[in-house]
Structure 1
């Protein structure tokens, strides 16, 4: 049975120290209700993989401000002031990763590939090592990244990146059926399908729940084989990450 009545029930069993991949891009397609349920569940020491860490007071920003995230692999600090503060203060271990590399690491994990080679990051600290992962109390680098394996194919150098497989994945979909087949809205497709593939247990919050067969086969963005738990959370409020007004 994949269908759960509440988000609290859907996230039950996620414990301290779990690795979690989280969908969304900025404030678009964020599994916010599932994240709020994790906050209420009191779990901590989490190892998070996501494009960014939400914004102040929303999404992963809630877990971050509560001190529940120990380590995050992301490609963008974004508009989250607490993310920047925690990183620079040494309260958070941060593995900054090129956005395309992060996406492919998630996809590779779901496809059963242990690693792949990419030109992204070659000749930079991404490949050579030395990226600050954690700062110390004195502001110095307490932990830095190690060099990664490189290899030449043809006349070009590539760096090896390992795939990502997590204990749990949290995603948001516009429509889902009780078998776990999902449809994502517009730019919410950026990371949610890849995140869903990477989780050993994938939990989907959906705005609209339908019966199997109501989503045409050609309309399915992510097949239910990748989804273990589904909860209907209703329509999601649309948020603005950064408001710009004319002078």
Structure 2
């Protein structure tokens, strides 16, 4: 029995992702986006995808590539403000969107990867997040075709005070796509600084986790204390090198004093 999880190319790694699959994708903004895997998935032609990720990239990068090609049917995310095509598809009824508070989204993914069915949180209590009615899909006439449901709430006593909490269900997906700085053949991963963000949580939530790594090393070369995500969560690893293109959404430069 081998524990070698490596595959030869991004194309091979995503070849079995079918139409209608659900994906958890790591990244925050454009930081930590698994671009080689996203591009390879774009080339497969798979469509009708449901994607869970903090955001949907920008019009010409990140998950925006799949969105622009019309491959996404539903997006579960926290922030959607950098993508004009996203706005167009949502308002025209082409795309279903489930907006989720950022911390809640992170915990939904972690819970899904940990075998926890649901959890209670105060986030969203007293808002449409708990009370329902948030538009998820619009009709062609601009009406709300699908709205968020009412969620269960329950009171708990915390520090001697009774507080209301809302029940949030965990998220698990068919596949997960993540980018890591380093990985070994057993699937143990190390992420680089803020590129760590949602990536370990997305990886945990996927029934099949596919990781692209900038550097592939042999088992034992990563100090166990340095592992951010253990290989038990990772099923395929593909090396993409360190010279891959990395973008940011906006470059802001402050004027020099005296300019």
TM-score range, shorter chain: over 0.9
Deviation at 1:139, TM superposition (A): 1.1
**Alpha-carbon distance in structure 2 between the residues aligned to 1:133 and 1:240:** 28
Q: Which residue of 1 aligns with 2:226?
A: 219
Q: Which residue of 1 aligns with 2:79?
A: 76
Which aligned pairs between 1:165-204 and structure 2 lie closer than 5 A? 165-204=172-211
Q: TM-score, normalised by structure 1?
A: 0.98
Q: Which residue of 2 aligns with 1:162?
A: 169
SS in 2 for 1:117: strand
Q: Which residue of 1 aligns with 2:100?
A: 97
Q: Which residue of 2 aligns with 1:239?
A: 247
SS in 1 for 2:39: helix
SS in 2 for 1:59: coil
In our comparison, the structure showing a higher alpha carbon Rg is 2
**Alpha-carbon distance in structure 2 between the residues aligned to 1:125 and 1:226:** 34
RMSD: 0.9
**Alpha-carbon distance in structure 2 between the residues aligned to 1:4 and 1:46:** 23
Q: Which residue of 1 aligns with 2:137?
A: 134
The one-character-per-residue Cα deviations of 1:63-99 (angstroms, maximum 9, x if unpaired) are 0000000001000003111111111111100000000
Q: Which residue of 2 aligns with 1:55?
A: 58
**Alpha-carbon distance in structure 2 between the residues aligned to 1:36 and 1:130:** 35
**Alpha-carbon distance in structure 1 between the residues aligned to 2:172 and 2:104:** 14
**Alpha-carbon distance in structure 1 between the residues aligned to 2:125 and 2:109:** 20
Q: Which residue of 2 aligns with 1:65?
A: 68
Query: Is residue 2:208 matched to residue 1:208?
Result: no
The one-character-per-residue Cα deviations of 1:179-218 (angstroms, maximum 9, x if unpaired) are 1000000011110000010000000000000000000010
Which aligned pairs between 1:138-157 and structure 2 lie closer than 5 A? 138-154=141-157, 155-157=162-164
Deviation at 1:47, TM superposition (A): 0.7
Q: Which moved more, 1:159-168 or 1:135-144?
A: 135-144
Q: Is residue 29–residue 248 contact of structure 2 (8 Å, CA) maintained in 1?
A: no
Q: Which moved more, 1:159-168 or 1:75-84?
A: 75-84
**Alpha-carbon distance in structure 2 between the residues aligned to 1:104 and 1:190:** 12
Q: TM-score, normalised by structure 2?
A: 0.94
Deviation at 1:244, TM superposition (A): 2.0
Unaligned runs of 5+ in 2: none
Deviation at 1:156, TM superposition (A): 0.4
Which aligned pairs between 1:115-130 and structure 2 lie closer than 5 A? 115-130=118-133
